[in-house]
Amino acid sequence: MNTNMTSLDRRLRLLRIAPLAVAIGILIGPGSLGSIALYALAAILLATSPAGYCPIYSAFRVAGRRGQPQAH
The CA angle 55-59-64, to the nearest 5 degrees, is: 65
Structure confidence by residue, pLDDT tens digits, 7-35: 999 999 999 999 999 999 999 998 899 99
The b/e string for 7-44 (b: 16+ C-beta within 10 A; e otherwise) is eebbeebeeebbeebbeebeeeeeeeeebeebbeebeb
pTM (2 d.p.):
0.77
Q: To 10 degrees, the CA torsion angle through 43, 47, 49, 55?
A: -100
